[in-house]
Amino acid sequence: MLKNEIYKEAVNVAVIGATGYTGVELIRLLLSHPKFRIASLTADSRAGGDITDIFQHLNTYDLPKLVKVEDVNYNNIDAVFCCVPHGESQSIINNIPENVKICDLSTDFRFDDVELYEETYDRKHEAIELQKTAVYGLTEIYRDKIKKTRLVANPGCYPTSVLLPLMPLIKDGIIGQENIIVDSKSGVSGAGRTLKDSSLFTEVSDGFSAYAVTNHRHRPEIESQLVKCSNKNNIRVSFTPHLLPIKRGILSTIYIDIKDNYKLDDVKDCLKQKYDNEMFVSVLGNNIVPSTHDVRGSNFCNIGVFYDSHSNQTIIISVIDNLVKGASGQAIQNMNVMLGNEEKEGLMQGVIFP
């Protein structure tokens, strides 16, 4: 059995909510991270048991027993990844000692605007003071702030795929803030491990549908970030998510209008300049079409830029693995930044293909 203790000098990490898909993905990535040691795993409904009772694929590793959230001993913990559903993070994180670094994977701290959070999620914000200290963890955009914060609000999976290409273009004023149409398609793991008819193999496999048309909660998250990086106070995005019969992967097809005084090359140049020195974000060459196959299991985001002269339409296509760059991978990337590790440490697993 593989000994967790080989990492004795490492940062001690707790994963709160370890038995959801972002939790087990964190465990996968942490287990090959040279600086992190998994010191605590929580799962209230399974406290006292082993995570291998649920996930046999971890049977080779020597992992701590599952405990209740309230039973985590923070004396031994340097960093926390919080993977509980939205609405549950705020009170949990309120109770974590000041010296512990936190990356929260829920939506609970993603909105600077508390009212927008409360409206979108239809509940009171329970940690308004903490919210003021939180940094939105889109690493390539907010790296400098992430270095200095104690609390990162890890971005949503759809927003990550949309904001990485759009934020530099909005910020530089190359594209207009109108007529932004985002047609996104996500693998099923994005829906988590909750039991529902629409996640059954029999009802997903060999088919495709849209869902939450006109009212998905990731739309306000996307818009609030776009507004923040522009000097506009109003950007409206049309966002339509679809459910792909795949396990992992998001592809967003984004239709935008380039402003009159700009050309397609300006779009490409802007993105290339922004991301050329980034490890995890690639702007693909001309005519190379992004595919979720090319990022599966990895922290990469690939972006393709296309111009249809016939209809005068600019199209950006981006792909990520929703569980990695869209969740647990970006969380580790953020924690690496917060702790002064090399940003790519523990994230260099290759893409699984085929």
Site for its own copies in 225-264 (CB under 8 A): 236-238, 240, 242, 244-249, 251, 253, 255
Structure tokens at 350: 């290759």
Choices 76-84, 118-126, 331-339, 342-350 (CB under 8 A): range interacting with its own copies:
342-350
- Of the pair 98, 206, the CB lying nearest its own copies is at 206
| Contact predicate 69/46, CB 8 Å | no
| Contact predicate 41/51, CB 8 Å | yes
- Where in 117-156 is the site for its own copies (CB under 8 A)? none
| Cβ 195 to its own copies shortest distance, Å | 4
- What single DSSP character describes residue 328? I
113 touches its own copies (CB under 8 A): no
Structure tokens at 162: 């949309």
| Cβ 151 to its own copies shortest distance, Å | 27
Q: Is 174 helix (H, G, I), strand (E, B) or coil?
A: coil
| Cβ 193 to its own copies shortest distance, Å | 7
294 touches its own copies (CB under 8 A): yes
| Cβ 180 to its own copies shortest distance, Å | 8
Q: Are strands 79-82 and 101-104 parallel, antiparallel or unpaired?
A: parallel
CB atoms within 10 A of CB 8: 9
188 touches its own copies (CB under 8 A): yes
Give dist(CA 320, CA 252) in Å, integer: 9
- Of the pair 112, 349, the CB lying nearest its own copies is at 349
Give catalytic residues, as residue numbers. Answer: 157
Residue count, binding to its own copies (CB under 8 A)? 91
| Contact predicate 81/331, CB 8 Å | yes
Give dist(CA 42, CA 254) in Å, integer: 38
315 touches its own copies (CB under 8 A): yes
- Where in 295-314 is the site for its own copies (CB under 8 A)? 295-298, 300, 302, 304, 306-313
Interacting residues of 170 by C-beta distance below 8 A, sequence separation 6+: 177, 226, 229, 230, 235
345 touches its own copies (CB under 8 A): no
24 touches its own copies (CB under 8 A): yes
| Cβ 217 to its own copies shortest distance, Å | 12
Give dist(CA 252, CA 295) in Å, integer: 14
Question: What does each C-alpha distance from 75 to 78, 174, 313 come to in angstroms?
Answer: 8, 49, 56
- Of the pair 64, 245, the CB lying nearest its own copies is at 245
Q: Which amino acid is at 348?
A: M
| Cβ 126 to its own copies shortest distance, Å | 27
- Where in 193-232 is the site for its own copies (CB under 8 A)? 193, 195-197, 199-211, 213-214, 219
- Of the pair 137, 346, the CB lying nearest its own copies is at 346
Choices 75-83, 91-99, 136-144, 343-351 (CB under 8 A): range interacting with its own copies:
343-351
| Contact predicate 162/318, CB 8 Å | yes
- Where in 269-288 is the site for its own copies (CB under 8 A)? 279, 282, 284, 288
- Of the pair 64, 291, the CB lying nearest its own copies is at 291
| Cβ 277 to its own copies shortest distance, Å | 10
Question: What does each C-alpha distance from 270 to 62, 202, 210, 273 come to in angstroms?
Answer: 46, 44, 32, 5
116 touches its own copies (CB under 8 A): no
- Where in 57-96 is the site for its own copies (CB under 8 A)? 57-60
Nearest to 320 by CA among 303, 285, 295: 295
Measured on CA atoms in the order 227, 229, 138, 264, is the torsion positive or negative? Answer: positive
Structure tokens at 209: 């549908």
